[in-house]
Amino acid sequence: MNADNDTRTTPGSVTRRDFLRTSTAAVVAGTVASQLAPAVYAQGDDVIRVGLVGCGGRGTGAAAQALTADPNTQLVAMADAFADRLEGSLNGLKGTEVADRVLVDDAHKFVGMDAYQSVIDSDVDVVLLCTPPGFRPMHLRACVDAGKHVFAEKPVATDAPGVRSVLESAEAAKAKNLTILSGLCWRYETGMQETIRRIQDGQIGRVIAVESTRFGSGVGKGVVREPGWSGMYYQVRNWYYYAWLSGDFNVEQFVHELDKIAWMLGEYPSSCLCSGGRQSRTGPEYGHIYDHFAAVYDFPSGVKYFASTRHQPGDGKHFDFAMGTDGNCDLMGYAITGKNPWSLGQGITQMHQLEQNALFAALRKGEIINDGEFMAKSTLMGIMARMSAYTGKTLTWDEALNSQENLLPADLSLDADVPEPPVAVPGITQFR
């Protein structure tokens, strides 16, 4: 919504399934850790059993991509709060090219707010966590406690206590040699990897300032509440428009831009001042979140980062632009101008597929990927901007990380009487 294993084996003394369950390789520093007898696992002759938690569009896509990534994967268990969402996802997957490996029987279709635990308790090797992000810290902790490898869709929390929980789970996963692969898929996009490598190699000189702009019309009309729906039932149905579930849209969507820039700079901001508000999405079906944000982040190195996003009618625009002492870089265009001109000359690859390819290829080779730290800290960048916009306060990184504001309702049952949260007003809404 954690125990070390120092056992050593020789090639042939452990099956690949044993590795998937216990991952006895010793983890070293870095995203990809040391190898364990790759000759034993690389042939891919054992089935990797996959469970899906969260059967919306992104969850359905992640499941199809996981099955595409490795020919010996099977989807064997699914969970969602709502039966119709699960059945819709399952029917959609049965219409894809990987339908022959969608093997979810009635006994492994789990519905309800605690259905995630039933998937974890099934005989699965990898769990895909694709619910609304407010549940991610709780679900990730349960997976790590159970010794499961995880794909965690972005973002991974909606408040600072959730971020701290994810950081703890990431450390526990390292101790257990478990993979946590992030849904921050630009990290796996080959053109972006090359572009950022060139910036980090100094091809635009010292980075002075960065701008990200992502203007769009939004993700669709909110759900209208029907008679008889509890507050919890309605809010989970309409999850995008509630900060405890989505983090607000600058966390749920704009986290991609925030992560790219933190990755490029190799650091996280020291402070943030953000403005925002709600002008065009004002009806009750839009919950209480904002429809525009404009943040200025200051980084320890002196870089200023100007980050703006909106969900309003008007002209669309989506770019990341880095300005340096020797040139500039259009990150989304994979192009550098100035002293060291360069252009990749290719479009964006299928990065959602590439991240799943990386996950399953690593497991076959006995490697561990742990994206836990950056996925938590990049999520916090969005949360600190939201808290700054809601309160009107400049926030430091430490203030944001140590915030005590816990957005998760105490009662998570679907019939819980969860009230409608108020729209935040700077100067009135307090930082906690």
Burial class (CB in 10 A: 0-12, 13-18, 19+), 222: buried
* 421 preceded by a cis bond (ω within 30 of 0): no
Name the E strands within 231-376. Answer: 271-277, 292-298, 304-311, 317-324, 327-330, 335-338, 342-343
- Residue 413 backbone dihedrals phi, psi, to 5 degrees: -75, 150
> 382 has which bridge partners?
none
Q: How many CB atoms lie within 10 A of CB 38?
A: 13
Q: What is the largest CA-CA distance in the chain?
A: 64
Terminal-residue alpha carbon distance, the chain:
22
Q: What is the C-alpha to C-alpha distance for residues 362 and 179, in angstroms, rounded to an integer?
A: 9
- Residue 388 backbone dihedrals phi, psi, to 5 degrees: -65, -45
Where are the domains positioned within the chain?
16-186+354-371, 191-345+378-401
Is the Cβ–Cβ distance between 122 and 76 less than 8 Å? Answer: yes
Show pLDDT as tens, one digit a residue, over the chain (432 residues): 333 332 222 223 333 344 344 432 333 333 443 333 232 234 456 999 999 999 999 999 999 999 999 999 999 999 999 999 999 999 999 999 999 999 999 999 999 999 999 999 999 999 999 999 999 999 999 999 999 999 999 999 999 999 999 999 999 999 999 999 999 999 999 999 999 999 999 999 999 999 999 999 989 889 999 999 999 999 999 999 999 999 999 999 999 999 999 999 999 999 999 999 999 999 999 999 999 999 999 999 999 999 999 999 999 999 999 999 999 999 999 999 999 999 998 888 899 999 999 999 999 999 999 999 999 999 999 999 999 999 999 999 999 999 999 999 999 999 999 999 999 999 999 999
Helix, strand, coil proportions of the chain in percent (round to 5)? 40, 20, 40
Task: Give the pLDDT score at 176.
Answer: 96
Q: What is the C-alpha to C-alpha distance for residues 40 and 15, in angstroms, rounded to an integer?
A: 8
Angle at 352 between CA 351 and CA 356, to 5 degrees: 110
Is the Cβ–Cβ distance between 260 and 278 less than 8 Å? Answer: no
Task: Give the pLDDT score at 220.
Answer: 84
Burial 340-379 (b: 16+ CB within 10 A, else e): bebeeeeeeeebbbbbbbbbbebbbbbbbbbbbbbbbbbb
Task: Give the pLDDT score at 45.
Answer: 64
Q: What is the C-alpha to C-alpha distance for residues 319 and 321, in angstroms, rounded to an integer?
A: 6
**Which whole-number Å values give the CA distances from 200 to 55, 146, 197, 388, in the listed order?**
38, 38, 5, 29
Q: What is the C-alpha to C-alpha distance for residues 44 and 15, in angstroms, rounded to an integer?
A: 11
Whole-structure pTM over 0.75, yes or no? yes
Torsion angle, CA of 89/95/98/101, rounded to 10 degrees? 70
Superfamily of domain 191-345+378-401: Dihydrodipicolinate Reductase; domain 2 (3.30.360.10)
Task: Give the pLDDT score at 37.
Answer: 29
Between helices 351-365 and 57-69, what is the axis angle to 10°?
Answer: 50
Task: Give the pLDDT score at 22.
Answer: 40
Q: How many CB atoms lie within 10 A of CB 35?
A: 15
Q: What is the C-alpha to C-alpha distance for residues 180 and 127, in angstroms, rounded to an integer?
A: 10
Which helix (H) or strand (E) segment holds residue 181: the answer is strand 180-182
Using the 8-state DSSP alphabet, how is residue 186 labeled?
A: G
Minimal CA–CA distance to 274: which of 326, 303, 310? Answer: 310
Q: How many CB atoms lie within 10 A of CB 107?
A: 9
Tokens of 180: 């946590």
Q: What is the C-alpha to C-alpha distance for residues 333 and 347, in angstroms, rounded to an integer?
A: 8
Name the E strands within 202-285. Answer: 207-216, 271-277
CATH fold group of domain 16-186+354-371: Rossmann fold (3.40.50)
